[in-house]
Amino acid sequence: MRNKLITALFIVYILIFAVGSLVARDRVFSDMENRNLTQFPIVNAKAVLNGTFSEQFEKYMSDQIIAKDFLVKLKVTENLALGEKYINGVYFGKADMLIQEYDNSYNQLSKNLGYVNEFVNANPDLDCSWMIVPNACYIYSDRMPPYAECYNQGEVIGYIIANVSQDIKIVDCSKALMEHKSEYLYYKTDHHWTMHGAYIGYSVLCDALKISPTPEEDYDIELGSDSFYGTQYSNAPTFTQSPDDILLYNNPNGSYKVDYYDKDITMYSLYNMDNLEIKDKYTTYLDGNHPFIKITSNSSNKEKLLVIKDSYAHSLLPLLADNYSEIYVVDLRYYHQSVSELAKSLDISKVLFINNLEFLSTDDNFLWLN
């Protein structure tokens, strides 16, 4: 009797997955994992004989299995239940924090530093500042799992200050963030900072640029979403993870226009509210990644600003928009033309770099700067 039941269980189990995966329509993209899924591979004699067909087919099978999202969660939950605290590059910290790992080898960082120095030296007329933002593993070090180590980002900032050109002003907001470290500065499930974290960065930046920040209480703070699961969650999803809030800071006196040149779109808001409905809700801020955009506001300051940034800037620039009537924003990952020429043609004299340390230590697109 027992063996009959066991046989039945097994047969039904493999048939459900076999038939289910066969019948279910193939997915192109996994929202949860935030990546493209393998499609049915091309069959030809060469691919079969050199083994690439079977290799691709096995990837296709495991990518297109039914209930894949559930299975991925089950796996990570099992790891977690056995006490693992570091899964797929994600630390499972206290208070439900999924903290991005940071392991600096100074290799890429020193290259990037060289590119920035070269840019500054080649453009002596430009007034350059560089805002450096530490990551959650540094500011929230007391939320890291027991004994987990993260390379000391204070040391890395010291290295940057010691090696950077004299002609660029470093804006280090780590001290201010540290003072607020019990607050909601970084997302639990995403590698970015929250808009509140960005506000603290913004006030430090305003001090350095000698402009006056909008007081935090002057904003209407709107809860855009309370169900944001970010990139860290995509890397290590579980059944038990609580989601994040997306906060939108609205200045009742501001009016804005954003030109997204790559898509030829103009929006009259700093936030793309449609993106609150998709998986990656962080793209609500300035519509996520674009090579080159222009933010125009009703600010009384007519000085033009050129910003060269990574995605940490997306939640900071909506605040800075109240201090500059024209901000041009370049993302070197996608903008591969001369930045000096751009500054010249736009008649710009003020340049601001905004980077988080993890990006600065790993990204290899700074070479496009020169």
Shortest distance (Å) from residue 36 CB to another protein: 13
Where does the chain show beta strands of DSSP type E?
29-30, 35-36, 86-87, 90-92, 98-100, 127-133, 168-172, 220-228, 244-250, 256-260, 265-267, 292-297, 304-309, 326-330, 350-356
When asked if residue 95 is in the footprint of another protein (CB under 8 A), the reply is: no
Q: Select from 7, 110, 301, 337 the one that contacts another protein (CB under 8 A).
A: 7
Distances (CA, A) of 253 to 243, 302, 322: 31, 17, 9
Of 46 and 302, nearer to another protein (C-beta) is 46
Secondary structure of residue 297 in the 3-state scheme: strand
Of 5 and 95, nearer to another protein (C-beta) is 5
Binding characters for another protein, 15-54, by CB under 8 A (x = yes): x-xx--x-----------------------xx-xxxx--x
Q: Which residues contact 6 (CB under 8 A, 6 or more apart)?
A: none
Shortest distance (Å) from residue 118 CB to another protein: 31
Q: Do the Cβ atoms of 303 and 297 come closer than 8 Å?
A: no
Binding characters for another protein, 118-147, by CB under 8 A (x = yes): ---------------------------xxx
Does residue 58 come out as left (phi exceeding 0), alpha (psi in the -120 to 50 range) or beta? alpha
- What CA–CA distance (Å, rounded) separates 322 from 317? 9
Give the pairing type, strands 127-133 and 350-356.
parallel
Of 71 and 161, nearer to another protein (C-beta) is 71
Q: What are the tokens at 285?
A: 């801020």
Q: Which residues contact 111 (CB under 8 A, 6 or more apart)?
A: 364, 366, 367
**CB hemisphere CA count around 183 (13 angstroms):** 14
When asked if residue 1 is in the footprint of another protein (CB under 8 A), the reply is: yes
Within residues 54-93, the interface with another protein by CB under 8 A covers 54, 57-58, 61-62, 65, 68, 71-72, 74-76, 78-79, 82-86
Instruction: Say what the alpha-carbon torsion angle 46, 51, 57, 59 is, to the nearest 10 degrees.
Output: -130
Of 17 and 292, nearer to another protein (C-beta) is 17
Of 71 and 273, nearer to another protein (C-beta) is 71
Within residues 146-185, the interface with another protein by CB under 8 A covers 146-149
Of 34 and 365, nearer to another protein (C-beta) is 34
Within residues 191-230, the interface with another protein by CB under 8 A covers none
Of 74 and 221, nearer to another protein (C-beta) is 74
* Residues contributing to the site for another protein (CB under 8 A): 1-7, 9-11, 13-15, 17-18, 21, 45-46, 48-51, 54, 57-58, 61-62, 65, 68, 71-72, 74-76, 78-79, 82-86, 145-149
